[in-house]
């Protein structure tokens, strides 16, 4: 959503291009007022479609309690302070967010090194995080880890990367091993 708003309001100045580290294109937009408005309008449409799909471009990070980008560039001044290797849980369960898709189908589309997103929510009064891929709910982070992320790292930047496909601890349901990197 941040990309869409920045593009909508300041795209004619090229601000969104500078945020994506596309400095030459940013200067061109600045000097030509978004390439006479045509490039700006195209970028608004692209940003709107990306927002609907839940994607976030490189160089633009989102904040905690919204979808958290995992594959985008991490600010150079930020340092990795903690990593968690874990598994997506609840991949067998139906969720209201699934939009008619099974979580196992979402898991099948994930590939190693794909970027994933976390979305904060409350489950029975406790902090929880959905794991998102391609705008779809793939499952959740374990309850204990969700509590740690919320209580200790809510002010940090979080990067989530897919590692490899696996089965749950009962060997019955397809899931994915993921790495959660915390930057401060």
Distance (Å, whole) CA 184 – CA 176: 26
Domain range spanning residue 14? 2-53
Going by pLDDT thresholds of 50, 70 and 90, the confidence category of residue 84 is: very high
164 shares a domain with 126:
yes
93 shares a domain with 45:
no
Q: What is the pLDDT of residue 8?
A: 87
Neighbouring CB atoms inside 10 A of 151's CB total: 9
What are the pLDDT digits (tens) for 106-132?
Answer: 888 899 999 999 988 888 889 999 998
How confident is the model over 69-97, as a mean pLDDT? 72
Total domains present in the chain = 2
Distance (Å, whole) CA 74 – CA 76: 6
pTM, rounded to two decimals: 0.57
Q: What is the pLDDT of residue 98?
A: 60
176 shares a domain with 109:
yes
What are the pLDDT digits (tens) for 139-156?
Answer: 899 999 999 999 999 888
Structure-block tokens of residue 88 = 């997506």
Structure-block tokens of residue 21 = 């580290």
């Amino acid at each position: 959503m941040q990309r869409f708003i920045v593009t909508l309001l300041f795209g004619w100045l090229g601000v969104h291009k500078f945020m994506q580290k596309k400095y030459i294109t940013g200067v061109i937009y600045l000097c030509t007022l978004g390439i006479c408005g045509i490039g700006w309008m195209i970028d608004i449409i692209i940003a709107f479609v990306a927002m609907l799909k839940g994607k976030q471009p490189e160089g633009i990070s989102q904040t905690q309690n919204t979808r958290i980008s995992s594959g985008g560039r991490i600010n150079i001044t930020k340092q990795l302070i903690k990593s968690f290797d874990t598994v997506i849980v609840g991949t067998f369960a139906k969720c209201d967010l699934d939009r008619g898709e099974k979580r196992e189908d979402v898991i099948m589309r994930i590939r190693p090194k794909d970027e994933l997103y976390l979305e904060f929510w409350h489950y029975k009064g406790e902090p929880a995080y959905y794991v998102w891929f391609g705008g779809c709910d793939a499952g959740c982070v374990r309850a204990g880890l969700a509590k740690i992320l919320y209580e200790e790292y809510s002010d940090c930047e979080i990067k989530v990367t897919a590692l490899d496909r696996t089965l749950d601890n009962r060997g019955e349901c397809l899931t994915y091993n993921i790495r959660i990197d915390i930057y401060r």
